[in-house]
Amino acid sequence: MLSTKETDQYQRHLSLPGFGVEGQLKLKKSSVLVIGAGGLGCPVLQYLVGAGVGKIGIVDDDLVDISNLQRQVLFNHDDIGNSKAKVAKLKLSLLNPNIEIIDYPNRFNSSNAENLLRGFDIVVDGTDNFSTRYLINDACVICNKILVYGAIFKFEGQVSVFNFNNGPTYRCLFPSPPSAKALPSCSEIGVLGVLPGIIGNLQALEVIKVLTGIGDPLSGRVLLYDALTQQTRMLKLNPTKDGLAVTSLKEISLPCETNQNDMREQIIKEISPQELVSIMEERNEVFLLDVREGWERAKSKISPSFHVPLGEFESSQRPVLPDSLSENKKIIVYCKAGVRSLMACQSLREHGFKELHNLSGGILEWESKGFPVS
């Protein structure tokens, strides 16, 4: 039954033909686990909480950062530095005190995945990296949970429903992780702020459709959305034998996501800000290369340095560098925090450059030591 307060709050649902009290009661009896309370997770959570899903879990070990506020509109400046999962629970409880909200301010990993999923009917993937997406998918297959998937990249997004009535899984769409070369620069890649809101709302809609039985869920189909043209395309997706054959959980480590140690050892040497200062003071010949975006460089840069954004390294052609730059020249590459510079060094190595060094911690570490920027 619905209480008087619930009846008042959900009256627009109750008066909706084909939904009504029956649909609302289905939502009240349902439970959803949302993994990731970021760009996608925020709108998913806001609309599922508003819709009256009876139990919602929030998994996220991250803290609110000022850079999140451009798209994660559940948060504000007062929340910076606090747990996303805990802040989300507090604010969402004010939106709808009639439901149960559980926060899990922990990293989703292979040791806790199955236990987390077993307490919920459906899972929403609001993460932003391939390794966690594969882990979520595999856990859903093992635990027989429906997975509502969403992803964004720059101006584009995609949505689908996996593991629904023996339908395809994420591994049917992406059988294996992409190569390191195909990976974007992770957290440092751009995205249009409103795009996660659009894709996240579509994910919330798919959850409601599955839970209430209305409409036709996006199982066996992937909705592709282009924000610049406001056009959508539908990709047909069939189940594959390998995509359904998941029997155990194994975390996948990808070069640009968390563990950079192997890449550092194989490709380049690390150089500290202090070492770079010594080199510059001794006027040793060195080529300092900044691979950040132009807008980042306009805010601050280490001088003198040459600028080539990482995007220009992602093709098979040699990046546009001075013709006089010898392949034996000592090159020190820097970015914001040391991730993009690793990718750039890998590309430079493939083009024959030998003396490659990465500025450890990037310009953030440089500035934290009090060294000058211009």
Are the C-beta atoms of 116 and 26 separated by less than 8 Å? no
**Helix residue ranges, H only, the chain:** 4-9, 11-14, 20-28, 41-51, 84-95, 113-118, 130-143, 170-173, 195-212, 241-244, 261-267, 273-281, 294-299, 339-350, 362-368
Backbone angles phi, psi at 217, to 5 degrees: -60, 155
Residue 356: phi and psi, rounded to 5, are: -105, 135
Active site residue 335: yes
Q: What are phi and psi of 316, to 5 degrees?
A: -80, -10
How many residues make up the chain in this entry?
A: 374
Q: Which of 113, 116, 153, 155 minimizes the C-alpha distance to 134?
A: 113
Q: Is 42 in the active site?
A: no
Nearest one of 81, 122, 318, 313 to 205, comparing CA atoms: 122
Q: Which of 42, 140, 172, 335 is catalytic?
A: 335
| Cis amide linkage into residue 304, ω under 30° from 0 | yes
**DSSP result, 24-79:** HHHHHT-EEEEE--STTHHHHHHHHHHHT-SEEEEE---B--GGGGGT-TT--GGG
**CA angle (134, 130, 126) in 5-degree steps:** 85
Q: Which positions are annotated as active-site residues? A: 186, 335
